[in-house]
Every structure is written in structure tokens, then in C-alpha cells.
């Protein structure tokens, strides 16, 4: 599936998926990108979009009916 993510300007992010008992990187959003489309995400995935340099307190989410559902 595709997930379109809008992020704050001048910030970089890493997207992770929970797989085999650990967070695995699946993509990045670089500084200056205001929106990004991640292709090929698993419907049953548990995802975490983390801003570079953050305290890593961002909420995890799933994708249901093409929308992000935060937990």
C-alpha cells in the first residue's frame, strides 16, 4: 500500500516497521521535503516515523483503509 506523509519543513525523518522483534528501517524523508509517499508498505505493519534528533517519543501507527491510525 501507499502512505502519504506530510511533515514539518526543515526536518528529516526515518520510517521504521516492527519486524522479527525489532524496529527495521524502511525509508527516509530528507530535509526540505514537505510530503513524501512510501510505496510497498505492508497492510499489517506496525510503523514508527521518527524525527532525526528527537527523543524518539513519536507515536506508532498502522495503516487501515489507506489512512494512518495512531496508537
Predicted pLDDT of residue 32: 74
Segment 3-52, tens digit of pLDDT? 666 677 788 899 999 999 999 999 998 887 767 788 888 888 999 999 99
Closest to 42 in 3D by CA, of 71, 64, 12: 64
Can you tell me the distance from the alpha carbon of 36 to that of 39, in angstroms, rounded to the nearest whole number? 10
Predicted pLDDT of residue 40: 83
DSSP per residue, 35-55: EEEE-S--TT--EEEEETTS-
Amino acid at each position: 500500500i501507499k502512505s502519504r506523509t506530510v511533515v514539518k519543513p526543515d526536518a528529516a525523518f526515518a520510517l521504521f516497521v516492527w519486524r522479527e522483534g525489532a524496529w527495521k528501517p524502511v525509508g527516509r524523508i530528507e530535509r526540505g521535503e514537505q510530503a513524501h509517499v512510501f510505496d510497498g508498505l505492508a497492510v499489517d505493519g506496525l510503523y514508527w516515523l521518527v524525527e532525526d534528533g528527537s527523543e524518539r517519543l513519536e507515536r506508532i501507527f498502522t495503516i487501515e483503509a489507506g489512512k494512518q491510525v495512531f496508537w
